[in-house]
């Protein structure tokens, strides 16, 4: 007998999607055009943050504080390097990239 609900929480869960990019935080998977994309944990965290906040501009400092909050060794250069790796994996279409640099301000995800 079910006390609250007979449906598991995951049953109503939907992965994040933008165009042909799908991120599933529960299974920790990313697919682009139906193909698996292998991301390092910080790349995954960045992408998830962007996909949960489309069109929002994040400064490098904000990303550093949100994705590397306890890593005293991380720097703005760490953010730039991780962004470069993430872009190389998901921004295969130069005409319509997912991540745009807003000069002098930060980065924005465009679904």
pLDDT lower than 70: segments of the chain:
1-12
Count, residues in the chain: 111
Domain ranges of the chain: 13-109
Element (H, E) at 81: helix 76-90
* pLDDT value at residue 3: 47
Q: How many CB atoms lie within 10 A of CB 38?
A: 9
* Residue whose C-alpha is closest to residue 106's, from 44, 68, 30, 50: 50
Q: What is the CATH number of domain 13-109?
A: 1.10.10.10
* pLDDT value at residue 11: 54
* pLDDT value at residue 32: 97
* Beta-bridge mates of residue 58: 107
């Amino acid at each position: 007998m079910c006390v609250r609900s007979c449906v598991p929480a995951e049953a109503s869960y939907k992965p994040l999607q933008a165009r042909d990019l799908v991120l599933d935080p529960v299974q920790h998977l990313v697919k682009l055009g139906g193909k698996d994309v292998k991301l390092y944990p910080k790349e995954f965290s960045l992408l998830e943050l962007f996909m949960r906040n489309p069109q929002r501009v994040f400064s490098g400092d904000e990303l550093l504080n949100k994705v590397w909050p306890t890593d005293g060794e991380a720097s703005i250069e760490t953010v730039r390097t991780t962004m470069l790796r993430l872009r190389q994996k998901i921004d295969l279409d130069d005409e319509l990239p997912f991540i745009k640099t807003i000069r002098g301000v930060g980065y924005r995800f465009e679904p």
